[in-house]
Amino acid sequence: MNLPNVLTLIRIFLVPLLVAAVVQQRMRLVVGGHTVVANDFFALAVFLAAALTDLLDGYLARRLRQVTTVGTLLDPIADKLLISAALISLVQVRMLPGWLVILVIGREFAVTGLRGIAAAEGYTIKASELGKTKMAMQVAGVALVILTGRWPVLRPWALGAMWAVVVFGLWSAITYFGKFWKTLDASIKLRRRHELIEMERRKRRLERAHRKAIRDKSVPAR
C-alpha cells in the first residue's frame, strides 16, 4: 500500500464524517460556552480536506512513480463517493434541487459503467482534462452551496457553479464514450470472432474424431 493509495482511502473514510456534518445541522464545537466551529464550517473543512487528498494522490502517484492499477480504478470511485455523498446530503437539507443532483450522479454512474466495461476488456480509462475541470467545478460548487446556509447572497453563484458542473459533466461523459466506445466495440467483436473460430475448430476436430472412430469400427479385424 503506497502513499497515494492511502490518501485515496482517507478520502473514502471522510465520506461518513462529511454526511454527518452536513445533515446534523446542530453539530458544533463549543469551548468555554462559545461556538468555535459551526457545522457548516466543519462540513466545508471536511469536504475541502477530502478534495485536497484527490489533488495530492494523483500528484504523488506521478511524482513518486507509484501509479498502480488499483489506484487508477479506486481514485475515481473515491471521487464519486465523495461528490455523491455531499450532493445527496445537500438535497436532504433542502439546499439543492433533487433533479440537478440526479443529473450529476447519473453521469457518474454512466462513466463508472464505461470504466468497468473497459477494465474487463483490458483498458484503463484515465481522467481527461474535461473530467478534471468537472471535478474542480464540483468542489467549487459544493463548497459554495455549503456556504449559502450562512450567506444566502451566495446562492446565485452556487447554482451557477452547479449548472457548470452539469455542463462539464455531460460534455466530459460524451468525450469518454466517443473516445473509447469504438475501441471497446472493436475489441469485443474481435474477441467474439476468435471465440467463434475456436468453437468451429473444436467442432471440426470432434467430427473428424467421430468419423475416424466409425471407420475403425467398420474395418474387420484380421
Q: Which amino acid is at 151?
A: W
Residue 7 · residue 73 · CB < 8 Å: no
Residue ranges in the chain whose pLDDT is less than 50: 34, 36
Q: Provide the pLDDT for residue 149.
A: 83
Q: Provide the pLDDT for residue 153.
A: 92
Q: CA 48, CA 95: separation in Å to the nearest integer?
A: 18
Domains and CATH numbers, the chain: 3-188 (1.20.120.1760)
Q: Which amino acid is at 48?
A: L
Q: Please measure the distance between the N-terminal and C-terminal CA atoms of the chain and give it in whole angstroms.
A: 72
Task: Provide CB contacts within 8 A for 184, sequence distance 6+.
Answer: 117, 118, 121, 123
* Element (DSSP H or E) covering residue 65: none
The neighbouring-strand residues paired with 34 are 31
Residue 108 · residue 127 · CB < 8 Å: no
Q: Provide the pLDDT for residue 126.
A: 61
Q: Provide the pLDDT for residue 26.
A: 63
Q: Provide the pLDDT for residue 48.
A: 92
Q: Provide the pLDDT for residue 123.
A: 66
* Element (DSSP H or E) covering residue 204: helix 155-218
Q: CA 15, CA 53: separation in Å to the nearest integer?
A: 12
CA nearest 72: which of 83, 82, 85, 61?
Answer: 61
Q: Provide the pLDDT for residue 202.
A: 85
Q: State pTM to two decimals.
A: 0.73
Q: Provide the pLDDT for residue 39.
A: 78
Residue 43 · residue 18 · CB < 8 Å: yes
Buried b (16+ CB within 10 A) or exposed e, 38-57: bbbbbbbebbeebbebbebb
| Burial class of residue 17, CB neighbours in 10 A (0-12, 13-18, 19+) | middle
